[in-house]
Chain A
Amino acid sequence: MVGIISYGGHIPRLRLNRGIIYGSNAWMAPGLIGSAGGERSVANWDEDSLTMAVEAARDCIGGFDKQAIDAAYLASVSFPFKDRLNSGIMASALNLEESVEAADFSASLRAGASALLAGLNAVRSGDYRNVLVAAGDRRITKMAYLHELWAGDGAAALLLGSDNVIAEFKGSATITDDFVDHYHGEGFQFDYNWEERWIKDEGFLKIAPKAIKKLLDKTGVSGADISKFVMPCVFGKVPHQIAKAFEMPKEAVQDSMFAVCGDTGTAHATVMLVSALETAQPGDKILMASFGQGCTAVLFEVTDAIKNLSARNGISGSLVDRKEDQNYMKFLSHRGLLQQDWGIRAETNWKTALSTLYRNKKMILGMVGGKCTKCGTSQFPKADVCVNPECKSINTQEDCEFANIPGEIMSYTSDLLTYTLDPPAHYGMITFENGGRGMFDFTDYENGKIEVGLPVRMVFRIRNIDHQRGFTQYFWKAKPMIKQEEAQNG
């Protein structure tokens, strides 16, 4: 049996009420009101498609043997790098084996489904044991465009394999059709979109049914048998119309998450699929249809093993970790859409020495430190000489992963002088359970709610963006684990 063996999700913590976007733009785009309900998810300034995918992937592979992951696929249309293997960075962040086959899938919102199919086929072929498939997007639109309201930021991940399958892969069908509802041309900052009515009537409603029919015919399953129909579509009625046409049960149509998150682009089919799995029962048949220059439809059947999968944060968990930020100017600023005076301090040179990065790849990207085999001291970073003053042995350290080790704040400040896109900068000394410590930036914190002793979780984030050279630099930051009710009161 081949299929999904685990899942994970990450919807960023910040949420922007669409009414704020509408209110700021109504003077020139009053028509936005039709889409102004609910809220959209917003990546923090230090999150992008890659970091969100890493977070979803960490959620997904927790408790599984990383050495059995033979491939790591990543899908996005908002990759930080056009020519540097983004999935390779993800593999480093997850500290996967060097022998992993990492590959990027892009250039269509359907790329998430393509990555999933590639992974399923690779496992089915017997070549690969487990395949990690992640997708994330942080799509940046012009101000006052409908997609600014419709879109959300987020990521999801699936682990595929053939043991303890929680959702069996029953088959897939694809239609490829160069239907250009929107495109993103080389050298351009934004998408260009065609008329919505045409996209809906000629695109979604004609192309998706072809793929779904092909899949149902191929697998011998009828629409009435479908328990969960996963189909991202910014036109809310479309999935219902298609479900009805195939005589699927009304309740099978999965929520598009428009009210709480928005459409996460390349990731959204996976995001909705993970969401469906979170409530799935053994025997459920899940049909996922992903649209984009055609349509890919995939059928899964949930197994008894889903009851045995240990708890994940998932999509539902990350939706609970929610912080309203109703500052539209800040939203625009963090997405690079405003020209502001950040002062001369912001002119600093963030050139990354690539040779240094490569030498220290495990430390910087993978949060891998050392553990002395002689005295047992855990330390970050790994060093040639043990930091324990009673030991100081040379070349005795083995790799020690710190990313998932709980930490707590030893000292901190909030700094209004130093340059950051989200002042004041918060950082401090973090001590890790069982040894090791370091000075780290904080992220996703509540201003004024930091204290010595507060527990933190390390997260993979953007550290700096070198705009002079187009290089996004990543490192790990400490996310204070404050209780949700406290966050909301703040």
Chain B
Amino acid sequence: MADGIKDKVVILGMGCTKFGERWDCGPEQLMVEAFEECIQDAGIDRNEIQAAWFGQCYDEIGTGKGAPGLAISLRLPYIPVTRVENYCATGTEAFRGAVYAVASGACDIALAQGMEKLKDTGYGGLPAIDGVNSGTLPGQTLPNISAPGAFAQLASAYRAKHNVKYEDLKRAIAQVSVKSHENGVKNPKAHLRKPVTIEQVMASPIIADPLGLFDCCGVSDGSACAIVTTPDIAKGLGKKDLVSVKALQLAVSNGEEQGYKEWDGSYFATTRQASKRAYKEAGIENPREEISMFEVHDCFSITEFVTYEDLYISPEGGGIKDVMDGFYNADGQIPCQIDGGLKCFGHPIGASGLRMLYEMYLQLHGRAGERQLNDPKIGLTHNLGGFPFANVNAISIIGRYD
């Protein structure tokens, strides 16, 4: 019987670029920038990396298909390199590949790197889906759904389910963005670093009702990476205060949400499944009490909002109270998006999961500067890719290795 990933793998080093409109950088420069920080942090030679996983979602505006994009950029020494793509969980999937490889004993040291170069499309937002890049059948039947349009629908269903007034939910999700901006101000690697008021967010132009511009995360270029190994090897390298992987879980929609009768459109069925499994794997019994901090997939404010409940941190229907009470603020009980979140970092798809882990890693090591929380022990990251009705959910939990 499998006993899970808990404490089998530790993070040896991490790196993360400045996120933003990196007009002067191509994918290669972004990857090198993150990797340089990571390899220095790890304190190893690049030739000690025995396998690598490369997360990139939009290969058409990145390095193209396959793994050579990463291997060539970093001049990796003819090792196994695998490109992964799984919507917005792409970065976390790269991490999972590297962690599982080390845990299996197939290699000692592995690299996970995520990268996305979004700002080469010529327009704002994520690249549009069309008739040839979304599958030949969905391309003939699905509406031309934009990312905000997909997630905005959560709001309509949440309001209907919990009998919430339009304005009340609009205000609560505005507070989600306000809170993240407060944190992003303190993060030199964030893309957006200005505070915003609840009034500004609520008055921002509508993109997909009820989401306004400030309910949407930025669109940025960026890369982040991690080098992982076993606790014993890390100790052998003289590393102290190790940060280990406590849980890695994924849940993928199987068509029930969009085809059967149970799901009501107001939550993520996948997140509820994956989080339960992750807590079990990490040995967490009461997430509201035991998690020190978390980074959720705030592609849109409403996504973060419903995720509070899907992670069983806020009670169902209790999200509005928690967010308005400041429960998730930097000085609240469980700070959420302490680095500024996707909201301030933007969402270079392949990089995001690793960028979240990077902040949890810094916090656990006490290296988060102005943002440093008091003695965090457990950090959770969450990615949600696709559409509320058909998606990929990834949850990672990391913490101190005792």
Contact = CB atoms under 8 A, between A and B. Distances in A.
A425 B146 CA distance: 10
Interface string B202-244: 0000111101000000000000000000000000000000000
B149 A417 contact: yes
A52 B131 CA distance: 24
A37 to B, nearest CB: 38
B160 interface: yes
A436 interface: yes
Given A411-B265, A418-B149, A439 B144 contact: no
Which of A348, A388, A418 has the most C-beta atoms of chain B within 10 angstroms of its own C-beta? A418
Nearest to B141: A475
A416 B208 contact: yes
B153 A387 contact: no
A463 B255 CA distance: 23
Given A344-B122, A349-B131, A351-B132, A417 B148 contact: yes
B316 interface: no
Interface residues of B, number: 47
B259 interface: yes
Nearest to A440: B143
B149 A352 contact: no
A337 interface: no
A77 B95 CA distance: 59
Interface in B140-167: 140-146, 148-149, 152-157, 159-160
Contact of A388 (B122, B211, B260, B264): B260
Interface in A408-454: 410-420, 424-425, 427-429, 431, 435-441, 451-453
Given A425-B144, A437-B258, A452-B159, A411 B123 contact: no
Contact of A412 (B131, B146, B156): B156
A387 B140 contact: no
B389 interface: yes
Which of A411, A417, A463 has the most C-beta atoms of chain B within 10 angstroms of its own C-beta? A417
Nearest to A379: B259
Given A345-B128, A349-B132, A425-B149, A452 B160 contact: yes
B136 interface: yes
A364 interface: yes
Interface in A11-50: none
A415 B128 contact: no
Interface in B96-123: 121-123
Interface in A355-391: 356-357, 360, 363-364, 377, 379-380, 383, 387-389
B281 interface: no
Which of B130, B132, B259 has the most C-beta atoms of chain A within 10 angstroms of its own C-beta? B259
Contacts of B149: 413, 415, 417-418, 425, 427
Given A350-B131, A427-B149, A475-B140, A417 B207 contact: yes
Contact of B141 (A364, A377, A417): A364
A259 B207 CA distance: 39
B2 interface: no
A466 B131 contact: yes
B258 A364 contact: no
Contacts of A419: 128, 144
Interface residues of A, number: 53
B137 interface: yes
A345 B131 contact: no
Contacts, number: 148
A410 B264 contact: yes
A356 B136 contact: yes
B240 to A, nearest CB: 48
Given A427-B149, A452-B160, A344 B123 contact: yes
Nearest to B123: A344
B26 interface: no
A477 to B, nearest CB: 9
A316 interface: no
Interface string A75-92: 000000000000000000
A343 interface: yes
B156 A389 contact: no
A121 interface: no
Contacts of B141: 363-364, 463, 475
B128 A348 contact: yes
Contacts of B160: 452-453
A353 interface: yes
Contacts of A425: 143-144, 149
B122 A348 contact: no
B128 A379 contact: no
B68 interface: no
Given A350-B130, A418-B143, 10 more contacts: A344-B122, A345-B123, A377-B260, A383-B255, A387-B259, A411-B156, A417-B146, A417-B207, A418-B128, A418-B144
Which 9 residue pairs are nearest across A and B when measured between Cβ atoms? A348-B130, A415-B149, A353-B136, A411-B153, A427-B143, A452-B160, A413-B152, A411-B265, A418-B146
23 contacts: A343-B123, A349-B131, A350-B131, A353-B136, A353-B140, A379-B259, A383-B259, A411-B154, A412-B156, A413-B155, A413-B209, A413-B211, A415-B145, A415-B208, A416-B207, A417-B148, A418-B149, A418-B208, A437-B260, A438-B258, A441-B143, A441-B144, A475-B141
Interface of B: 121-123, 125, 128-133, 136-137, 139-146, 148-149, 152-157, 159-160, 206-209, 211, 255-256, 258-261, 264-266, 387-389
Interface of A: 343-345, 348-353, 356-357, 360, 363-364, 377, 379-380, 383, 387-389, 410-420, 424-425, 427-429, 431, 435-441, 451-453, 463-464, 466, 473, 475
